[in-house]
A and B are shown apart, each in its own frame.
Chain A
């Protein structure tokens, strides 16, 4: 096993270390280790299936936030044959926690917008941990308006803990920026495909998240508030994130059931970071299929169907509907 592992992966890691040790010994020592190796390999397969086949929502949350998980620009590199980034909201500054630009997938030209997290400490700070300021959302909208103007479909990658809760963000109208994006995306006269690739943190995610087809990576999460935030409000204890993740039902499979997500994109065993190329391949396939479906439709029909899609989300009683 490579890279960093999570607490619930410990039994797997221990066995894998033993296997490695055994293999090393088989090279230098006399004797036949092959039976033992085979037995251990089988055991690892079984335990992997057990662990990864029964992930609870808190474990999924940890995978969604895994430090090795592919981010927006990683997917761009793996999926796009070309990408030209554009910068700035023309009002205040460029916000590096959102990337936007023109790109090409299998000969299809799109406008891409996505939140971007950083990998190294320096990069994390530069990307503000993927938490956009209003100017980030305004840049995103500018890019989407370009897409509308030039009849290009919009593709968004959602991966944010949330919109940044800070002084400057509030001063410059975080609420207004998000509200505007949501409203404009609802009426944008070009197809929109949304992919939730990691963390879908509340309004800050939805500000890039209104579209015609909502894809969601198998181990991504999408919630109204972070599990920790929910826990600190309900039990005054951010440590109860695990319980909160369970009751809020924030996994891709949950949201597919609620009709919020259209397609759950399968991830390699153990998560996208275990095999980023395979994850990217799956994502690419679903993006292309969504673009294909939308390509044949008239734009009025697309926008009307988008309206209907959101119009019917919600459960209640009474009112004859």
Chain B
């Protein structure tokens, strides 16, 4: 849990960092690829199908019908409850993350439509302190779940997180319980939740709502697990096999339902919801009659 610091370091060589250039090199296959083509392809390498990490805005526009997204609770801001200082002050880390992302926190929540169907969606921003969950992330996710329950609409959460946020101590841990309690009510209301796991989803986020989906979808190659690979390697004192904790491994072990490339994600989610959700009115009449 709370492994975002480690992950943060990795981020640098994963991002598409050369937007001015016409050509970029894929981080995975090392092929030189045409930047426009990669972008048209939702930042998936056309040669090897490698999924680059994408921004929250790119994620939302890849899933939600154009012009239909309305954000919830954008004004919620974290406070430094513990007076946490390590090599930097927590408040400075927050300020820096806010400045870079131009958002207040590591998750963006809101409502919108998927092929015309109303949904509530939450999207994690791994670039914001490793997508870690503190009180604000927990609160925003909980409010989004409650809003979906109230509106009787499907819920989509796109996770990318190192886990609970160390800088808010045990209060961060409790966000796992808070979100899960809301999720229990959502499920009890008979509503569908599709959990989309992206690279990476570990720790307290994996061990709460990310694994509570009716259907769990992963992007190809995403790292998914409870403990981070380094922690496991230190514990068992041996190197982990190639591909351990990757999406394909989890599919084989029965922990996710399917691996879906980003380019097909919206259509897959839309189709699934077609089976799982019949709309507010019909559901209500079903209940009464």
Residues of A at the B interface (CB closer than 8 Å) are 163-167, 169-176, 178-180, 182-184, 186-187, 202-203, 206-207, 209-210, 222-225, 229-230, 233-235, 247-250, 254-255, 258, 260, 306-307, 310-311, 313-319, 321
Instruction: Tell me, rounded to whole Å, the shortest Cβ–Cβ distance linking B94 to chain A.
Output: 11
Across the interface, do B170 and A314 meet the contact criterion of CB distance under 8 Å?
no
B73 within 8 A of A: yes
Among B2, B136, B171, B204, point to the contact of A313 (Cβ < 8 A).
B171
Across the interface, do B170 and A230 meet the contact criterion of CB distance under 8 Å?
no
Given contacts A167-B244, A206-B177, contact A235 B169 (CB under 8 A): no
Among A178, A203, A258, A310, point to the contact of B178 (Cβ < 8 A).
A310
Q: Which residues of A sit under 8 angstroms from B183, Cβ to Cβ?
A: 183
Across the interface, do B185 and A203 meet the contact criterion of CB distance under 8 Å?
no
Q: Which residues of B sit under 8 angstroms from A321, Cβ to Cβ?
A: 139
A/B interface sample: 16 pairs, CB < 8 A: A164-B235, A165-B227, A166-B235, A173-B253, A174-B226, A179-B180, A179-B212, A210-B180, A224-B172, A249-B82, A258-B171, A310-B174, A311-B178, A314-B139, A316-B139, A318-B75
Across the interface, do A235 and B209 meet the contact criterion of CB distance under 8 Å?
no
Across the interface, do B86 and A186 meet the contact criterion of CB distance under 8 Å?
no
Given contacts A165-B232, A247-B82, A250-B170, contact A179 B185 (CB under 8 A): no
Across the interface, do B240 and A167 meet the contact criterion of CB distance under 8 Å?
yes
Across the interface, do B171 and A319 meet the contact criterion of CB distance under 8 Å?
no
Cα(A178)–Cα(B212), bound, Å: 10
Give the residues from 162 to 182 in chain B that come closer than 8 angstroms, CB to CB, to chain A.
164-166, 168-178, 180-182
Across the interface, do B227 and A317 meet the contact criterion of CB distance under 8 Å?
no
Residues of B at the A interface (CB closer than 8 Å) are 1-3, 5-6, 73, 75-79, 81-87, 104, 135-136, 138-139, 142, 164-166, 168-178, 180-185, 187-188, 202-204, 206-212, 224-227, 231-232, 235-236, 240, 244-245, 253-255
Instruction: Tell me, rounded to whole Å, the shortest Cβ–Cβ distance linking B67 to chain A.
Output: 25
Cα(A249)–Cα(B232), bound, Å: 26
Given contacts A166-B235, A249-B169, A313-B174, contact A203 B5 (CB under 8 A): no
Given contacts A187-B185, A258-B171, A318-B75, contact A175 B211 (CB under 8 A): yes
Across the interface, do A258 and B255 meet the contact criterion of CB distance under 8 Å?
no
Instruction: Tell me, rounded to whole Å, the shortest Cβ–Cβ distance linking B212 to chain A.
Output: 5
Looking across the interface, which residue of chain B has its beta carbon closest to that of A222?
B170
Across the interface, do A235 and B235 meet the contact criterion of CB distance under 8 Å?
no
Q: Which residues of A sit under 8 angstroms from B203, Cβ to Cβ?
A: 203
Instruction: Tell me, rounded to whole Å, the shortest Cβ–Cβ distance linking B283 to chain A.
Output: 20
Cα(A164)–Cα(B181), bound, Å: 24
Across the interface, do B166 and A248 meet the contact criterion of CB distance under 8 Å?
yes
